[in-house]
Structure formats: structure tokens, C-alpha cells
Amino acid sequence: MTWRELFDAADEYAVSESEVRAALDDQRDE
Amino acid sequence: MSDEPDPATVVADADVLAADLLCGGAARDALDHVRAHSWTTLVVSDPLLDDAEAVITDLADADLADAWRDRIGELGEFVEHPEGDHPALACAYHGDAAHLVTFDDSLRTVSANASLKKYVTTSVKSPDAFARLFDPERLYPVVGDGEYPGPDRDPRA
């Protein structure tokens, strides 16, 4: 997939930067 | 201590990699510098991409995470580092990166940055700061020949 296609596919998920940061903290705490 | 950092070499922590895909905004602006310029290098490692892929799977879905992994693997230059190292710091060290882009405040604090410089001569920046401060036109004469030719890749390809 191109970056454009990836970004278009990701648009349906309304994710915030704080959610990403929290998810990474959880991932690295495991 | 590793070699002198390359001013055209960048590490994006896993939060920035995932936010580039899922959020856009400053993370995407920051990584567009790399996507648009073939003479820049994005340093990655399997542990770093594992972290970002897990976040994307958690917040979106596994199919999207798989597709992203394929694409980022084509863009990034892989380094290896010991298991258990902080992936972004290890990539910066082993990849001689001048820039580490992260949302992690603890990596961006003055004391952490000063401590980090004992081992890695890398500037730690937020995505917003990197997107604003990374100046391809000013940097190009250092890494290329002649005048800055402008972006040489489609950042959405």
C-alpha cells in the first residue's frame, strides 16, 4: 500500500496522540 | 561513543511512528520531511517497529498494522541493538542519528537530554519542533551537491 492508502485507511480510527502515548507506555510496561 | 551524528539521519520513537499513521498532525509533518527527501535516513529496528505495530494493532487493527509494517520497512534503514535497550535511544546510537523525535516528555527534558549526550550526540525533539526546525534547504549543502533541488519523493507514494 502507498502512504496515501495507509493514511486513508487509518482515517476511520479517531485516535489521539495521548492515546498513542498511553498505548506505547502500556506496551513497554508489559 | 558512536560516530559523529549524521544531520540527515532521524529516529522516530514508536509513538511518533504510530501517530504518523493514526493521528496525522505534527507526527506526519515530521515524517513527511523523511518521506519527501531521499537523502534523509529514518533509522529503525525490529524492536522499535514491534512497539509501534503493537500500538497500531491495539488502537486500530492488525491488518492495518501489517500493511504499515511492510511500508515502513521499505522506508527505514535497519540497525540491530541489544534486547532490552530502549529501542529509540538504541537506534539513535547505532544509527548515528542527529535527531530523535518523540512525544515522551521524559526523553525531552533538559536533564535527560544532557544525560543522554554522554552516550548519544542526538538532539531529542517533539514532532512539532522537528517539523518546524528541520530545514531541508539549509541542510542540503551539507549532505548533497549544489543547491537544494526541492523534495525528490512523493511523501504519499
Instruction: Catalogue all structural domains in chain B, each as residue range(s) with its CATH number.
Output: 6-140 (3.40.50.1010)
How far CA B139 is from CA of A7, B2, B144, in Å, comes to: 28, 22, 9
Count of CB pairs separated by less than 8 Å, A with B: 74
Best A4, A18, A20, A21 member to test B by mutation, with max B CBs in 10 Å, is A20
Number of domains in chain A: 1
Q: Assess B36–A contact: CB distance below 8 Å, yes or no.
A: no
Q: What is the C-alpha to C-alpha distance for residues B137 and B151, in angstroms, rounded to an integer?
A: 9
Chain-chain contact of B68 with A6 (C-beta, under 8 angstroms): yes
- The pTM of the full predicted model, rounded to 2 decimals, is 0.94
Domain that holds residue A4: 1-30
Phi, psi dihedrals of residue B128, rounded to the nearest 5°: -60, -45
Q: Is the ipTM of this complex over 0.95?
A: yes
Lowest model confidence (mean pLDDT) among B8-17, B61-70, B112-121: B112-121
At B108-136, the pLDDT tens digits run 776 566 666 666 678 999 999 999 999 99
Q: Do B59 and A20 count as a contact with CB atoms less than 8 A apart? A: yes
